[in-house]
Each structure stands twice: as structure tokens, then as C-alpha cells.
Structure 1
Amino acid sequence: MNEGKQLREGLARFMLNYQFAIEEVMTKINILKTEFEHLHDYSPIEHVSSRLKSPESLLEKARRRDIPLTFESLSANVLDVAGVRIVCSFQSDAYWLAKMIGSQQDITVVAIKDYIANPKPNGYKSLHLIVRVPIFLSESIQNMHVELQIRTVAMDFWASLEHKIYYKYDHAIPASILAELKDAAAVASRLDTKMERIHEDVQGKIPRSTSS
């Protein structure tokens, strides 16, 4: 019984550290959002959300990937326990925000997966960053990983719908619906391109670089 209690307390502390990491990252992003809204003519951030994997989901992923069930191993190998999603207006904003966030002194970018330039086979597009951020506890400093997903409104709408369909069909989506989803992703991509071009024409600005 004592070992079970220690395991529960350790897991609660482990998950709480990730919640603290989410709050650190959310604070940084909300500061940027507020700055742009009040001090600049344009804000690239539409809205921000976060999520923390449940312990059950974390352990299921560890078993699926054959990761040892120790806190040290989970922390080193499951890098998306904590997640923050930033929805922006245009594709170029995604790279712009990634550069701004990555340039902060206490954030380290560990990995980047550019699914905007290289979409997944089903059409999914988003810019994924794994960042490491320190959290300052009463007796220690812990460096925690957080996954950032940065995507446009159109990408977010598509991903939300795909996620619902994915679970409705218990991960086995019929081929006809997969084809429709891929076509819808192409339509969303064309919409992103067209809206960004209109925005640039209205603002009379030179487009920002869309390379990471």
C-alpha cells in the first residue's frame, strides 16, 4: 500500500510539473498577444489553448512505444505530455511566431517538425515545435518539454474535424472519407494562400519569409 501511495504521489507531482510548464509557456504567448493587440497595428495570434495528457493516455503511449515506465524515461521519451496550440491568421505568421518564441532566452527549441511545408499524407498541416522551458519550484529548477502546435484558422478547422472523424471510426476511417479529407485539406491550403495574398495587398507590405 505504501508503494502504491508513493507511486500516485510521484505521478501527481510529475504531471503537475508539466502543468506548470504549460502555464509558463502560456504566459509568454499571452504577453506577446497582448503586446501586439495594444502596441502594434496587427496581431498574428488569433487564440491560444493548451492541453495536458491524462496519466492513462501517457501510460498507453509509453506501452505502445515500449518506453520503460519510469518518470525519467517518460520525461526523456514522451515529449508531448504538455501541449500548447497557437492559432494564427496566416501561414507566414506561424514561422514568425515560432521565431519570436524560440528567441526568448529561457526557451530552448529542441525539435521542429514542419508539416506546413511537408504535410502529412492525410493532408494535416501545422508547425510543431518541442521546446524546453524551466520551471522554478521551491527546492529545485526543472526543465520541462512542451509541444507547440502553430497553425492557421483554416488548418485548425480541418484538424478539428479530422480528429472527430478519427475517433468516430475508432482510427479506421473509410478510404472514401480519407480522400474527401485530403481534398478538403487542399481547399483549406488554397484558402490560406489566397487570404494571405489579399492581406498583403491590403496592408501594402512585403510578405514575411515563410521559411523556418
Structure 2
Amino acid sequence: MDDGKQINQLKVVRKELTRFMLTYKFALDEMNTKLNILQEEFEHIHDYNPIEHLKSRIKSPESILRKCQRKNIPITQNYIGNHIKDIAGIRIVCSFISDIYKISEMIQGQKDIKVIETKDYIKHPKPNGYKSLHLILSIPVFFSDRQEEVFIEIQIRTVAMDFWASLEHKIYYKYDGEVPAHLIEELTTSANIANQLDEKMEVLHAEINEAKEDKSSESQMDFLPLDNKRYPLPKQLLESLMEKSNKE
């Protein structure tokens, strides 16, 4: 094969690889836009934002090839695109466990999103203590000449879950997967402590919400003096009575 033909083939491969990776970048851009809209809506309209922060990533070509080798997946764009569903990923970190399911419900409720798979490692943790809610989604990406459905993995977890998962990843990376037994035991213990913290925070969250609801209800009440005592009366009803009295 002459040099000119080989260079042309390399250009074609490079162009195809660039287009392949851009597809996932565009899918991430679309999903991040959706999540940013939700964040801004909660910040400006509601009095509470369940999303603490977001982080997105695309696997490198080297990482994709390593996964192909581990799973014996043929190295073609079609096979990779259909069988590796976590090339593009977004991690959503929340304060409370209930926020995780609230956000998941909002994401799945968007009409152009298809839910391919759900893995609930919160209700069913991994043996090492790992917890998170994983969603595999398919979203449409529109090009100048076609439309493609692209897979994205969404991981939703609390701050405590995220801290533990980050620590676990660093330890396994440092020991190249061969982690000493005593560290594995410590990680499992730490996972239990993180879970207890999440449960306590969830109780506090519920109490705060209940207090807010009580306060909101009180703000809608007024008091009717009868027999030198004060009885709560809904403000709208009191205003209606006063208006009727004035007419009479």
C-alpha cells in the first residue's frame, strides 16, 4: 500500500472516530442542558434545590478499547455503540436520599428520554457497600443529516455516598485492585457509617419539611375572638365573613 493511500485511510478513520466521540459529547450537552434547567427552576421558583452539583465525563478511546477487550466486544462503532452504554456519563449529587428518587422521576418524565435500564444500588447495595441509583437513558441527538439515539449513564447519589465511592475508587486505583483485607473491612464499615448518616439526615429533612408545612398552614389562618379566647380560623373564611358583615 502506498503512503498516499494509507494516509487517506487514516484520515477516514480519524474522521469517523471524531464523529463517533462528538455524538456522545452532543448527547452530554443536551442532558446537561436539561439538568441545568431543572436546577435554575428550583433556584428561582422553589425554595429548595435538590441538586448539590453535577459532573459529566466521556470515556477516553483507550478506556473504551480496554472495556471492549474485557467484555470481548468487537471493535466496531456499531458494536461499541450498542453494547457499551456508559461511554457518556453524568453524576448527580444530592443532599438526601429522597432527592435521588425525586430527580430520577423528573428525568424519566421528560418525553424525549427513553429509560433503558435502572439499577437501584440504594435499595440493593453492592457487597462492598456501594450505593447509588444508576439509570441508562437513550436521548436523541440531531445532526445535519440524521438523528441518532445515544446512551447516557446517570448516577444519582447523596454527598455521603459520593464521598465513600470516591474514597473506594482511590484505594482500589492505588492498590491496582489488590486491596489488603483490613482496608476492605474498613471500607465496608465506612459504608455502614455513611448509610447511618444518610438515614439521620433524611429524618431531619422530613422534620424540617413538616415544620415548613405547619408554618405555611399557620400563615393561612387568622384568629376569631370568642368568649375572651382566640380560635384559629382560615383567613379566607374570615375575610368572607367580614365582607358579608359589611354588606349587611
Matched, 1:156 2:162: yes
Matched, 1:27 2:33: yes
Post-superposition Cα deviations, 1:16-60, rounded to whole Å, max 9, x if no partner, equal 100110111011011001100110011110001101000000011
Cα offset, 1:185, TM superposition: 0.5
Cα offset, 1:82, TM superposition: 0.1
Give the unaligned 5+ runs of structure 2. 1-5, 212-248
Matched to 1:121, the amino acid is P
**Within-5 A mapping of 1:164-203:** 164-203=170-209
Matched to 1:173, the amino acid is V
CA distance in 1, matches of 2:15, 2:182: 47
Cα offset, 1:175, TM superposition: 1.1
Matched, 1:53 2:62: no
**Secondary structure of 2:116's match?**
strand
Tell me the equivalent position of 1:209.
none
CA distance in 2, matches of 1:132, 1:3: 31
Cα offset, 1:5, TM superposition: 2.3
Tell me the equivalent position of 2:23.
17
Post-superposition Cα deviations, 1:142-178, rounded to whole Å, max 9, x if no partner, equal 1100000000000000011111111000111111101
Matched, 1:145 2:132: no
Q: What is the aligned length?
A: 206
Tell me the equivalent position of 2:217.
none
Cα offset, 1:4, TM superposition: 2.5
**Secondary structure of 1:142's match?**
strand
CA distance in 2, matches of 1:80, 1:111: 12
Q: Runs of 4 or more off by more than 3 Å in structure 1?
A: none
CA distance in 1, matches of 2:176, 2:14: 30
Cα offset, 1:122, TM superposition: 0.8
Tell me the equivalent position of 1:80.
86
CA distance in 2, matches of 1:6, 1:69: 16
CA distance in 2, matches of 1:109, 1:198: 32
Matched to 1:82, the amino acid is A
Structure with the greater alpha carbon radius of gyration: 2
Match of 1:39 among 45, 50, 67: 45
Structure 2 length normalisation: TM-score?
0.81
Cα offset, 1:3, TM superposition: 2.4
Tell me the equivalent position of 1:110.
116
Structure 1 length normalisation: TM-score?
0.95
Matched to 1:47, the amino acid is H
CA distance in 1, matches of 2:73, 2:13: 17
CA distance in 2, matches of 1:115, 1:105: 25
Matched to 1:200, the amino acid is A
CA distance in 2, matches of 1:184, 1:13: 43
Over aligned residue pairs, what C-alpha RMSD do you find? 1.2
